[in-house]
Chains A and B, each alone.
Chain A
């Protein structure tokens, strides 16, 4: 992000509360960048870049899943994944705003992560029709299975695009109708809340961050080498 986005100016009786930590925000915008890059490189036949972009996505997803268990409070799955009752209650307006994902937004986060992970895994096994371009793990499957993975890889992208579209529409709805600037919050990490202020996020230690980066980079490196050393 080159443009600095102003934090929302708090209205009377409202103040800024820290909602998203740095790793969560960096992962979010890196995912945006690499999904666009992956789409563009695939459309234009730059398969070497497409593989690198996919490896980047793999590392980000591994880190995000790790962060979902060991990260700051608002990044944790246990903090935001709710059952259908909570979602229904949220839709009726019965949910009091707390920093982090609302129950319905959580569903979208999980769906996006699952689809992205599916997409990346399919790509790892995919083989093109000529056997020229392929994902690093295609060596473990037959040509036919690799072709099937490639076709699913293409089909899953359509589903992913619809979900991303839905995600963007929801964010715009909050912006236009509910006057809440969620994009800004995902950039600078803060959001305006009325009094009484909710608890801000509980950050995770730098050691955990390092651990997450090492795990993500390590697994990704092994996958790119098809576990052959």
Chain B
């Protein structure tokens, strides 16, 4: 029981230290390397969600709850991705497949992101409507938007 735990003197100090540490963490701006790592994890999560959508849409009897949940992850990523590329987190900051063009052609990059943002809601809507054919069509469209951006702004796999 945490309440009891912190009643003891030594643990109270530990508890206070933890509060301070989390406050510092909240104020502390992420380093470029941390941003790159977090970005990588975001995209990995997106890839997993995308696979999960595909798994359900090709299943004989889809798990519609899982389908909607995964489509929601994709949809959220389409909104959040605008924040994943702050200046200074390109190839100059460490190992990343993000190309310098992201920052040298901001208008083009934004257009590519908007394409994803514009198509993802259709995937979510189709998943919520349990319309597998619409999910398949939207999956193809969203996948096209991913590729559109990757072709220009991501370096090829090693």
A146 vs B52: C-alpha distance when bound (angstroms): 12
A25 vs B49: C-alpha distance when bound (angstroms): 44
Given contacts A127-B47, A131-B46, A132-B50, 5 further A-B contacts (CB under 8 A): A127-B51, A130-B150, A131-B49, A131-B51, A139-B59
> Which residues of chain A have a CB within 8 Å of any CB of chain B?
127, 129-134, 136, 138-139, 143, 146, 226, 228-229
- Verify B146–A139 contact, CB threshold 8 A: no
B contact face: mostly helix, strand, loop, or mixed: helix
In the complex with contacts A130-B146, A130-B150, A132-B146, A229-B51 CB distance below 8 A: no
A133 vs B147: C-alpha distance when bound (angstroms): 11
CB distance from B17 to the nearest CB of A (A): 36
A226 vs B59: C-alpha distance when bound (angstroms): 8
- Verify B47–A129 contact, CB threshold 8 A: yes
Nearest residue (CB) in A for B50 is A131
Nearest residue (CB) in B for A151 is B157
> Which residues of chain B have a CB within 8 Å of any CB of chain A?
43, 46-55, 58-60, 143, 146-147, 150, 157
Nearest residue (CB) in B for A143 is B48
- Verify B51–A143 contact, CB threshold 8 A: yes
Q: Which residues of B contact A133 (CB under 8 A)?
A: 143
CB distance from A123 to the nearest CB of B (A): 16
- Verify B55–A139 contact, CB threshold 8 A: yes
Q: Which residues of B contact A143 (CB under 8 A)?
A: 47-48, 51
A132 vs B51: C-alpha distance when bound (angstroms): 7
